[in-house]
Amino acid sequence: MKAKIRLYYKLFQILILFINGLFLAAGVFPVLGFIYSARAANLKKDAIKARWLQRFSAIVNLHISKEGELPERRAILVSNHISWLDIIVIGQYLPACFVAKSDISGWPVIGYLAKQGGTIFIRRGDKQHIRSTAEKMAWLLKQNSNIIAFPEGTTTKGDEVLNFHSSLFQPALLTRSAIQPVALQYQGSAKQYAPFVGDDGFVPHLIKMLTLDKIEVRLSFLPIINSSGKSRHAVSIETRDLIWEKISESSPADNSDREGFGVIQGSIFLKKSVGTSEIRSC
């Protein structure tokens, strides 16, 4: 009985959070763009989006074990992809635009929030659309924005890293932006239930996540790679291999209590003030 009451309460919190997100996206963000300069408005939007993601994190009870350093200059961060939760996990730490498959744009509420949050949608297999997406990514990087991408193009169960689509690396090479690999590993009971694969629907999967006592995840920001003089194909292979190496080093056992990680329960606080950072999102 207590478990059902807790689930219903969390669902109510999620509903309120989504309503709040719609209000911010449809009402507050346009007003900020009208009142402030583009740069000032973006900084304020970044702070709002960070707090919204922190609140989402608290509701689903994310326990994040983080290691590594964030980029100090504009960068494209590339990660293995396991779940929609990945966006909440990584997005709290720095202002950035996400690259996501175009299917998400059609999701009720979530699709709209993603669009207003600056998500770049890409249609796999459409070369012309991929080219225009790459141009948009390059423009954003030139504007000193960060980009977070999942080059596998789909999700896995977390026990493998698929080959990366090299086209997503071209904008970083053209603009000489930093390329930073990010490794994600869900642990504990979340290792089995967090993967969003196959025919999973968002709402049923969300409910399944809310039934867990906590969602443990290891988040590793790996060193920025040296991309000088390398092709996009070579960089994509190197990045993928570094992520796989990080994941495979702890795959024999679920080391959720490993020392040296900073564990953040529920919500997290950004180490660097979004409002004072020179790096902004879209």
pLDDT digits (tens, 9 = 90+) for 120-148: 988 777 777 788 888 999 999 998 899 99
> What is the four-CA torsion angle of 259, 264, 268, 274, rounded to 10 degrees?
0
Of 135-144, 154-163, 247-256, which range is least confident? Answer: 247-256
pTM of the model: 0.85
Question: What pLDDT is attached to residue 256?
Answer: 44
pLDDT at residue 38, rounded to an integer: 87
Residue 257 in this model has a pLDDT that exceeds 60 = no
Render pLDDT for 182-198 as a digit per residue (tens, 0 to 9). Answer: 999 999 999 999 999 98
Which comes out higher in pLDDT, residue 278 or 159? 159
pLDDT in tens, 67-101: 999 998 899 999 999 999 999 999 999 889 999 88
- β-sheet bridge partners, residue 219: 66, 184
Residue range 13-58, pLDDT digits in tens: 999 999 999 999 999 999 999 999 988 998 899 899 999 999 999 9
Phi then psi dihedrals of residue 112, to 5 deg: -65, -45
Single-letter amino acid, residue 98: F
Side-chain half-sphere CA neighbours of 245 within 13 A:
9
Bridge partners (DSSP) of residue 181 are 78
